Structure 1
């Protein structure tokens, strides 16, 4: 208990910022990653290394970025908990992120061949370091500043802004494909949409609000070695890893799929339209999934969502035409949106301690981004399989993705029920 000087009043709890202000940075980073990972990078890799090695190089690059996402958030989050600060990490991380985007844009616009690729890779690693440096302390702001009774609304706003940003990213990808925009302009647009929302959050959240947890939060935290002995955290972490492995088995290669399997000439445009179908459907099902989970519980929604994603991933291999593939993308999006709405709720229920929000949220973040490592072996498997027979590599990659989704569905039953996760 903190002792106050005689006559001194206890400090009032800091005012809670608007959910739109608090979630603004998430909007910018969602736009940033969708446009970068699914639109620009696959096209740039072909520019650097050619068609035959595109899957291998894109997979290796994605895996190297995942190293940053694996190491940086927990370490920075733990340091942020010790200092009691959040916003300085956000400012510095965004600055490094922007510098990395400049390096990537210059390499893509003016440096062809392998020499350009290595510069491009350096820029990408700067982007990954900066974004992950900012993410763990930022992720602690909602559980730290927002009372439990209001967190549902705040996480709902965050989810909606993320989906809208991803839709905007897909539409931007369509514009890039149709108008053949210069690389410098495309990377500049990503930087602008990242910077402006970050400034809104930094300026709208008072520095004092980025400090110690609210008075009602307990300060006891589990040590690193005991964190995964907390069963809810362990099994939610494992199932989230499995669903992310399924996502990253396919997502980096979606642009190649539309060209090689569906025969689309403008792969940037066709993959952007497919992403838009997934995202629009996910917005609808995210709202419905949250409402349904309040009545029937979290797990039934995840069972349905994961099974839907697995089936759609397999059916995409047999899509007879591009319009049919778009219809299947809508089905996949319905499953994905329902999963993400419940996934956040399960994760919030599973947080073991209020005394180490940034560290634990950083580790929680690892469950989603570390599976990017799967990009390297999946990229090699894609290239190897396609050399064995026409588009056989896609059969392997999409089939493995379906298995990951199904494994997540099976293992989510091990997540212990809590007062928050049971049906009302």
Structure 2
């Protein structure tokens, strides 16, 4: 006897619209605005350390809020009210950050900026755990690769639009502070699409709906969840070892006179390539399994990270950025599907997805020590800091590839049985 969803799944594009907005938001904030703003506030000698500090402070919010809010969402059976409140607080935080940049300078401005960033982190993470529960709740197992691929594609498209917006502002000689209202608009509109198009009372799809929730204390005893959590954390460690410092890499290593613009171009190459691989990877994983896609994706990202250390020019770095993007898009397309497959119970989707989300945000703490390592290495030899952090990133990616083999094959078998 097979179970069927009570209603047809919502469109993958409507379901993933919020992810488009939040992808634009985080790319513009973490990769464009924050490095430039922190440089203006604290100066070049301490830029790496303070970017790392700011990322670590925000990561504390991202660690604590999703599991708690997710558990509350499971008890109420609602998702959208959390999304609405979270987006509202997020927008207020963006306003505070923009005002700090416009009206203040020095360390007084920096700490107001930090306050705004904490509001942003609180709001976005308040929305994330209930929202993250929607794919495993609404989408049958056999279609999760396709839906995860659509989410990965929209995420990449949001990042691309963020990079292009920053590039356009630079080309038009407009102040970068205009990116704050653009980011707010890019977050708000897709969020409204998801809020209006997703039912807030749909029952879970699939056989997990009848299983009792796993207690907090035994969640990691569920081997699929444990190994998916660990491998996602390793991939995130690789990402956050490099991501906050790409703008500085463009200026210090590649010698770009306008590192903000060149960084936007590099990000655009990464993102365009990731769009190409996102939908392909998600659909392919429904046929061949999640793990083979991750093997190829992680190895590709590790190789690209190492090769970026030896390229002699910006022009040659761009194809490597695109290569990294192909791996990143394929990984992103499978990431949500693999995590959804590993959930132990439909009765605690939001709580468990909130805990799973910790595997992505906790590694943001690596930006703190990596920022210190970057400054320490660069003070001792030219660009030694970049060699150290990029090499560590490659090591994290490869360790994730190796350990994803431990995800039990039963998860794969269950998915194929559901699609049969």
What's the TM-score bracket when you normalise by the shorter of the two chains?
A: over 0.9
Whether the 8 Å contact between 1:307 and 1:406 is mirrored in structure 2 is: yes
TM-score by length of 2: 0.93
Which residue of structure 1 aligns with residue 239 of structure 2?
A: 247
Whether the 8 Å contact between 1:48 and 1:114 is mirrored in structure 2 is: yes
| C-alpha distance in 1 between matches for 2:169 and 2:81 | 34
In the TM superposition, residue 109 of structure 1 has moved relative to its aligned partner by 1.5
Residue 90 in structure 1 maps to residue 83 in structure 2: yes
In the TM superposition, residue 81 of structure 1 has moved relative to its aligned partner by 0.5
SS at match of 1:320: coil
TM-score by length of 1: 0.92
| C-alpha distance in 1 between matches for 2:276 and 2:120 | 31
| C-alpha distance in 1 between matches for 2:311 and 2:231 | 28
Question: 1:264-285 deviations in whole A, cap 9, x for unaligned?
Answer: 0111110111011111111222
Which residue of structure 1 aligns with residue 259 of structure 2?
A: 267
Whether the 8 Å contact between 1:242 and 1:407 is mirrored in structure 2 is: yes
In the TM superposition, residue 143 of structure 1 has moved relative to its aligned partner by 2.1
Distance 1:15 1:302, change over 3 A: closer
| C-alpha distance in 1 between matches for 2:407 and 2:205 | 28
Which of 37, 40, 50 is the aligned partner of 1:57? 50
Which residue of structure 2 aligns with residue 146 of structure 1?
A: 139
Distance 1:158 1:304, change over 3 A: closer
| C-alpha distance in 1 between matches for 2:394 and 2:329 | 17
Answer with 159-168 or 176-185: which moved more: 176-185
Which of 171, 189, 192 is the aligned partner of 2:185? 192
SS at match of 1:317: coil
Which of the two has higher C-alpha Rg? Answer: 1
Residue 231 in structure 1 maps to residue 217 in structure 2: no
Q: Gapped runs of 5+ residues in structure 1?
A: 1-11
Which residue of structure 2 aligns with residue 412 of structure 1?
A: 404
In the TM superposition, residue 15 of structure 1 has moved relative to its aligned partner by 6.1
In the TM superposition, residue 106 of structure 1 has moved relative to its aligned partner by 0.5
Answer with 337-346 or 267-276: which moved more: 337-346
| C-alpha distance in 1 between matches for 2:206 and 2:381 | 63
Distance 1:270 1:183, change over 3 A: closer
Which residue of structure 2 aligns with residue 356 of structure 1?
A: 348
Corresponding residue pairs, total: 411
CA RMSD, 1 decimal: 2.0
| C-alpha distance in 1 between matches for 2:197 and 2:416 | 35
In the TM superposition, residue 319 of structure 1 has moved relative to its aligned partner by 0.7
Whether the 8 Å contact between 2:83 and 2:126 is mirrored in structure 1 is: yes
Distance 1:207 1:227, change over 3 A: closer
SS at match of 2:26: helix
Which residue of structure 2 aligns with residue 306 of structure 1?
A: 298
In the TM superposition, residue 13 of structure 1 has moved relative to its aligned partner by 3.8
| C-alpha distance in 1 between matches for 2:282 and 2:243 | 24
Which residue of structure 2 aligns with residue 122 of structure 1?
A: 115
Whether the 8 Å contact between 2:66 and 2:354 is mirrored in structure 1 is: yes
| C-alpha distance in 2 between matches for 1:197 and 1:334 | 25
Which residue of structure 1 aligns with residue 333 of structure 2?
A: 341
| C-alpha distance in 1 between matches for 2:401 and 2:73 | 34
In the TM superposition, residue 223 of structure 1 has moved relative to its aligned partner by 0.3
SS at match of 1:318: coil
SS at match of 1:235: helix
In the TM superposition, residue 196 of structure 1 has moved relative to its aligned partner by 1.2
| C-alpha distance in 2 between matches for 1:141 and 1:73 | 14
Question: 1:232-251 deviations in whole A, cap 9, x for unaligned?
Answer: 11011101100100000000
| C-alpha distance in 1 between matches for 2:216 and 2:401 | 27
Which residue of structure 1 aligns with residue 148 of structure 2?
A: 155
